[in-house]
Amino acid sequence: MASRSADFDDDSSGRVKRVKIEQNGTSDMDPKKNPYLAHQYNDVSKYASNASGDPLANFKRHATTAKQAKIAEDGPKNAFTGTNLSPRYFSILKKRRELPVYEQRQEFLDLYHKSNVLVFVGETGSGKTTQIPQFVCYDDLPQKKGKMVACTQPRRVAAMSVATRVAQEMDVVLGDEVGYSIRFEDMTSDKTFLKYMTDGMLLREAMNDPDLTKYSTIILDEAHERTLATDVLMALLKDVVLRRADLKLVIMSATLDSKKFQSYFHGAPLLAVPGRTHPVEIFYTPAPEDDYLSAALRTTLSIHDSQPEGDILVFLTGEDEIERAAAKIRAEVQEADMGPLDVYPLYGGLTPQQQQKIFNPPPKADVNGRPGRKCIISTNIAETSLTIDGIVYVVDTGFSKQKVFNPRVRYESLLVTPISQASAQQRAGRAGRTQPGKCFRLYTETSFKDDLIPQTYPEILLSNIAATVLELKKLGVEDLVHFDLMDPPAPETLMRALEELYYLKCLNIDGDLTEMGKLASEYPLDPAMAVMLISSSEFYCSNEILSICSLLSVPNIFVRPNHAKQKADEMKAFFAHDLGDHLTLLNVYHAFKSDEAQEDPKQWCHEHFLNYRALTQADNIRMQLKRIMERQEIELVSTPHTSPKYYDNIRQALVAGFFMQVAMKQSNNRPYLTVREEQKVVIHPGSTLKHEAEWVLYNEFTLTSANYIRTTTAVKPEWLIELAPEYYDIEDENFPDGDIKKALRRARNGVHRSEKGRK
DNA sequence: CTCATCTTC
């Protein structure tokens, strides 16, 4: 199987060498603030602690040394709280000082003093996420200025767990001096001066405080992941540091792409610290595999059969594929009597408890001395979000599902796509966390070099940016074309976003934010959804639309396990509404909130094949959205359930937001066509929409095995014309000439006739 | 004939 191997450590793209590149940063060269003056204080006792007992009393902000910090950290009193340090603190401190970053603390401080912006490259295991913010706190002294140090993370769990760890390291109570802030959970207080938070959270804060005046230093961690929020924050902060001389910015990244960050920030100083990992041997297949799934199964079984002790991690693309592969491997191992192997599927759809199982110890060796091991079959959740110790073998199929966005057709969808070289490297690295490992790549070395793109595309290039554009407008960014993003989206993507916001009346014809736009920007929702919610009181159904919005903001609430598809479908039919899925969702929510279900909601969900976690999450989101509506004084009203207009009102409110996501059935059993783009689409087979509705509104357009529209509800063409006259203006020369135009003309004439009829 | 992974005062 293995044709040739390469030493991972010698791989030219393998790891960061310890390099320090000094650049002509926009540094503060005021001699009075010269950081090197700090070195003149050679008498250690002078600043060990003063009469008042404050170990930080002699610390000069932005002019401290690693040595000073070390003395303060050595105690015996906590430099920030004044209490005696615990034994646990000292045992952790010892370990902290063995981390690679610790050696370069002075180097870090020198650059941090010199420049307002600093790029820090730390590989896995360097300790950057926990240590750098502490290094900053001892020098920036945010507590003395009533400011905070922020450190952003792309994921909630990371913000939470890192804050917990750092609170321990600093011997403080989590939520006091060190805290975190993520959606639905603010674990900070007025004492907090070091705050871990999600990047999205900081972006939200920027909308109310564009200069982020609460912070004296902002650290953007995992910047190489290039999340939408981090990209936007980088662009904003690049400008903020020019306006606020007192603000410092640290960009932390884990890849070799650091040069790109450095040049983006006008040659900011860069510091690189090596990680602490074990070498991983890479094997490629000699010839391309035409079926990566069977190749993955074959390779996994062969590792188990022939390789020394050590757990296996296999990367596949999706839930269904993973469950099937897991079943096959279990069956094969049993049939061929291959020795103990525990197989664990791993993907985001699993509950945290199910995900925890991957940390179970591997089975013991059997009586014949064959090693026992565990095998984890995972999506790319194991690439960044979850780390598993003890993995020695990685099987890399070279594929993952990735989001793609087509601005012309305006759909986001998921496609099985070859991964990037950076991704492949990350996957391989998972084999070397605790000991030297092996990575089996199920593609050729030529393919790795020639076919894989070097870096995964940043999220901003693969997304509908309408929500981002609205946020930026709210932030006061006037000229979006020249907004200095690291990777600006295609002009067409921007145009489509602006156009979408114009039709939604969030922007006027000049591209300025309207009253509607201001209101919509306050919701953590896509613009169409926000507009629908804001408009819903006019249709006397804001309570119901609020529920629907919440349900559309969480993963699929319907569970359909492979072994009980029929039973699950029967249960779903119990809630089904003939007019469409939005109304079905509402039925489920009402049933979920009923007294009967609330007696034991978990059990109730299990019996009805519903995702309890998603429903409680929706409930949470509902409360959050409700608070914003109340603040905006949007009335929470309902049409009486007995009224014949109950469902019509809801459906009209749906149209008020989603009029751009409508498809029409063509005659003669031909597929549906989307209104303006005239894309052929099929209603997703899971839909509860019963009769052949001529016009349907949909929430999502995804391309999987076909062009599916998901979560669809029947609507009437008269409503489209009435509620979105500009979008449905068939006199507009850009409106495609076809069946849809004809049908709209018929409907329009019908409206006119009925109006005459009413008179 | 059925969706990767995150995320938002």
Phi-psi region of A579 (alpha: psi -120 to 50; beta: other; left: phi over 0): alpha
Residues A305 and A432 in one domain: yes
Residues 6+ apart with CB under 8 A from A695: A662, A663, A664, A665, A714, A715, A716, A717, A720
Structural domain containing residue A581: 523-632
DSSP, res A174:
B
For residue A211, how many C-alpha atoms fall within 13 Å in the half-sphere facing its CB?
9
Residues A73 and A195 in one domain: yes
Q: How far is the CA of A263 from the C1' of B1 (A)?
A: 50
Q: For residues A542 and A678, state if they share a domain.
A: no
Closest nucleotide relative to residue A381's CA, C1' based: B5
Do A434 and A301 share a structural domain?
yes
The distance (Å) linking the CA of A728 with the C1' of B9 is: 35
CA–C1' A228–B5 (A)? 13
Of A241, A273, A305, the residue at which a domain comes to its end is A273
Please tell me whether residues A572 and A707 are part of one structural domain: no
DSSP β-bridge partners for residue A77: A84
Largest CA distance in chain A: 97
Same domain, A89 and A207: yes
Q: Which nucleotide is closest, CA of A383 to its C1'?
A: B5
Residue A247 near residue A241 (C-beta atoms within 8 A): yes
Name the residue with the least CA to C1' distance from nucleotide B6: A155
Give, as ranges, the nucleotides of chain B with any atom within 7 Å of a protein CB: 1-9
Report the C-alpha gap between A551 and A585 in whole angstroms: 7
- Clarify whether residues A327 and A446 are in a common domain: yes
Please give the full DSSP string across A449-489, using - where no structure is assigned: HHTS-SSPPPGGGGS--HHHHHHHHHTT---STT---SSPP
On whether the CB atoms of residues A315 and A396 are closer than 8 A, the answer is: yes
DSSP strand E in A580-661: where? Answer: none
What's the confidence (pLDDT) of residue A52? 60
Question: Whole-prediction pTM value?
Answer: 0.88
CA distance A188 to A190: 7
Residue A754 burial by Cβ neighbours in a 10 Å radius (0-12, 13-18, 19+)? exposed
Residue A729 CA, nucleotide B5 C1', distance (Å): 39
A686 contacts A559 by C-beta, under 8 angstroms: no
| Nearest protein residue by Cα to C1' of nucleotide B3 | A414
The answer as to whether A118 is a domain residue is: yes
Q: Find the Å distance, CA of residue A714 to C1' of nucleotide B5.
A: 31
The count of domains in chain A is 4
Alpha-carbon distance of A413 to A21, in angstroms, equals: 41
pLDDT at A24: 35
Q: Which amino acid residue lies closest to nucleotide B8, measuring CA to C1'?
A: A524
List pLDDT tens digits, range A524-563: 999 999 999 999 999 999 999 999 999 999 988 998 887 8
Closest of A103, A111, A149 to residue A127, by C-alpha: A103
Cα–Cα distances (Å) from A436 to A7, A8, A658, in that order, read 11, 10, 53
By CB atoms closer than 10 A (0-12, 13-18, 19+), residue A464 is: buried
Contact A212, A246 (CB under 8 A): no
Inside any domain, residue A543:
yes
Asked if the structure places residue A511 within a domain, the reply is no
A202: nt with nearest C1' to CA = B8
CATH number of the structural domain spanning residue A254 = 3.40.50.300
| Nearest nt by C1' to A413 Cα | B3
Our measurement of CA A612 to C1' B8, in angstroms, reads: 22
- Whether residue A240 is contained in a domain is answered as yes
A718 CA → B8 C1’, Å = 34
> Which nucleotide is closest to the Cα of A682 by its C1'?
B1
Q: How far is the CA of A322 from the C1' of B9 (A)?
A: 37
CA A49 to C1' B6 (Å) is 45
Distant-in-sequence, close-in-space partners of A501: CB < 8 Å, separation ≥ 6? A466, A469, A470, A473, A507, A517, A527
Which residue has its C-alpha nearest to nucleotide B7's C1'?
Answer: A200
Amino acid residing at A240: V
Among A448, A502, A515, A544, CA closest to A660: A502
* Nucleotide whose C1' lies closest to the alpha carbon of residue A708: B2
Best CA proximity match to A524, nearest among A224, A233, A229, A221? A229
Amino acid type, A509: I
pLDDT of A349 reads 81
Q: What is the pLDDT of residue A255?
A: 73
By C1' distance from the Cα of A704, the closest nucleotide is B3
Say how far apart CA A215 and CA A250 lie, in whole Å: 12
Phi, psi of A703 (to 5 degrees): -110, 105
Contact indicator for A139, A112 with CB cutoff of 8 Å: yes
Tell me whether residue A323 is in a domain.
Answer: yes
Please indicate, yes or no, if residue A477 is contained in any of the structural domains: no
User: Is A559 among the domain residues?
Assistant: yes
* A149 and A296 part of one domain: no
- The gap between A414 CA and B2 C1' (Å) is 13
- b (16+ CB within 10 A) / e for A478-508: eebeebebbebbeeebbebbbebbbbbbbbe
Q: How many residues does chain A have?
A: 759
**CA–CA separation, A689 vs A329, rounded Å?**
39
| CA atoms of A711 and A556, how far apart (whole Å) | 10
pLDDT of residue A669: 74
Alpha carbons A324 and A319: distance in angstroms, whole number = 9
DSSP structure class, residue A115: B
Q: Which residue is nearest to nucleotide B4 (CA to C1')?
A: A401
Alpha-carbon A85 to chain mean position:
37
Residue A332 lies in a domain: yes
* Residue where a domain stops, chosen among A417, A440, A460: A460
Q: What is the DSSP string of A193-245?
A: -EEEEEHHHHHHHHHH-TT-TTEEEEEETTGGG--HHHHHHHHHHHHHHHH-T
Q: Which residue is nearest to nucleotide B5 (CA to C1')?
A: A381
Q: Specify whether A711 is located in the same domain as A615.
A: no
Residue from A719, A572, A158 nearest A387 by CA: A158
| Strand spans (E) along A347-484 | 373-378, 391-396, 399-406, 411-418, 437-441
Per-residue pLDDT tens for A236-290? 999 999 999 999 999 998 876 788 999 999 999 999 998 888 999 999 999 988 8
Quote the pLDDT of residue A348.
85
The rounded percent of chain A whose pLDDT value lies above 70 is: 92
Name the nucleotide nearest A402; use CA and C1'.
Answer: B4
Looking at the structure, tell me whether residues A285 and A269 fall in a common domain: no
Which residue positions in chain A have pLDDT lower than 70? Answer: 1-52, 256, 751-759
User: A393 CA, B6 C1': separation in Å?
Assistant: 26
- State the nucleotide closest to A685 in CA–C1' terms: B1
**Do residues A544 and A583 share a domain?**
yes
- Distance from C-alpha of A378 to C-alpha of A175, rounded to nearest angstrom: 34
Same domain, A303 and A451: yes
Distance (Å, whole) CA A702 – CA A207:
31
Q: What are phi and psi of A604, to 5 degrees?
A: -60, -45
